[in-house]
Structure 1
Amino acid sequence: MPHPRQARLRTVPPGGLPVALDGAWWPRTDDLPAELPSLLASVPHGWRGIASASVDGELWQPMPGRVLIGSHVVRLHRARVARDPHTICLLAPGHGRWDLLVVPPGTPPAEAASLMDRTVGGRL
């Protein structure tokens, strides 16, 4: 199995005040099952045991109900009530929940970098 590419991910530093978003992710495509392995390989070490990912909006192409990543099954859900169509919620039972802004794949690099910086800096 090829090693996944490094995800374009920025997370809020641990230990700060509570935040609305835990970071920002800029996937390369709109294929969530193809993008998820690199995202999960890139999340901070403390974000362990992610069992499901919830998304909303028109951003993602059709997807299965679950995906096998290594030997780990991750359930995929389309949220029925949108917090924001450009977010992904990662859930790890007993460990936590992490919400990330999803920068659409076709976003120009300068705009994507700005969105990610503002999200991590708490100014979004």
Structure 2
Amino acid sequence: MITTFDRTTPRDLAAELPARLSLTPKTTLAGQLDGAWWPYSRDLAAELPPLAAALEEPWGRITRVTVNPTRWPVIPHTVPVDGRTLHVAWFTEQDPDKLILLSYTVGRWDLLVIPPETEPAAAARLMAAAAIPGSVLTAGVLMADEAAIRHGIRDAVRREATWEGEGGACMSPFGYPMGRSALRLPESTWR
């Protein structure tokens, strides 16, 4: 029997895959976010180089990044990116679901950070919502809305399963059990 070990680390994986981004189109409408980023892992040292490389053409050279430490287990002070250094800082006051990117010459951009373990459908909804020009929704609000959507979907699936399992007759139109096991049929007067 031959056993093969996968020695691919998150750092190797992130370096090989393109950054998953959704950016707000260029417009005069200023919003709370400039787009969304869906990293493959929580390893900033591995995830930031592909992100900075992907953003260099549309936004210019990124020189600094700030994060909230609650979402990242290790925060390096610097990360090498294409022969230069990207400085990383953390602030507990910053929204945990937001990444701030800074450039000396161009400005500042705020990205929603979608957790790596997020399901693709939820990530697609979040990426689309974060890229709406002029949106007043913050990163925290978008994540809370997505959590409510996931909870609503799970609740609806549970109610439908209960409805189907009970034959549908023992549930109210709102999906709640009516407290009886079967509907009584009127006795037949026909003999």
TM-score (norm 1): 0.89
> Identity over aligned residues, as a percent?
39
Instruction: Kindly state the Cα deviation for residue 72 of structure 1 after the two structures are TM-superposed.
Output: 1.2
1:81 maps to: 93
* Deviation, structure 1 residue 57: 4.0
* 4+ runs deviating over 3 angstroms: none
| 1:6 correspondence with 2:37 | no
Amino acid at match of 2:82: G
Amino acid in structure 2 at the alignment position of 1:111: A
Contact 2:56/2:62, CA 8 A, preserved across alignment? no
Shift of 1:44: 5.8
Of residues 25, 30, 35, the one that matches 2:47 is 35
Asked whether the 8 Å contact 1:57–1:86 carries over to 2, the reply is: no
For CA contacts below 8 A with separation 6 or more, give which structure has more relative contact order: 1
Aligned equivalent of 2:131, options 103, 120, 123: 120
When structure 1 is superposed on structure 2, of 42-51 and 58-67 the one drifting more is: 42-51
| SS state at 2:57 partner | coil
TM-score normalised according to structure 2 size:
0.59
Q: How many residues align?
A: 122
The residue correspondences of 1:89-104 to structure 2 (distance < 5 A) are 89-104=100-115
Greater displacement, 92-101 / 2-11: 2-11
* 1:16 Cα offset (Å): 3.5
Q: Confirm or deny: 8 A CA contact 1:10 1:25 kept in the other structure.
A: yes
> 2:59 aligns to what SS in structure 1?
coil
Q: What is the RMSD of the two structures over their aligned residues, measured on CA atoms?
A: 1.7
Q: Which residue of 1 aligns with 2:63?
A: 51
Bigger strand share: 1
Structure 1 unmatched ranges of 5 or more: none
User: Aligned letter for 2:97?
Assistant: H
- Aligned mates of 2:23, 2:122 — CA distance in 1: 17
Quote how far apart the aligned CAs of 1:87 are: 0.5
Amino acid at match of 1:43: L
Q: Cα distance 1:60–1:28, how it changes in 2: closer, same or farther (>3 A)? A: same
Give per-residue Cα distances to partners, 1:35-57, cap 9 Å, x unaligned.
01111121262411211100004
1:114–1:44 distance in 2 versus 1, CA, 3 Å: farther
1:48–1:95 CA contact under 8 A, matched in 2: yes
Q: In structure 2, how many angstroms separate the alpha carbons of the residues matched to 1:48 and 1:61?
A: 28
Structure 1 or 2: more helix by fraction: 2
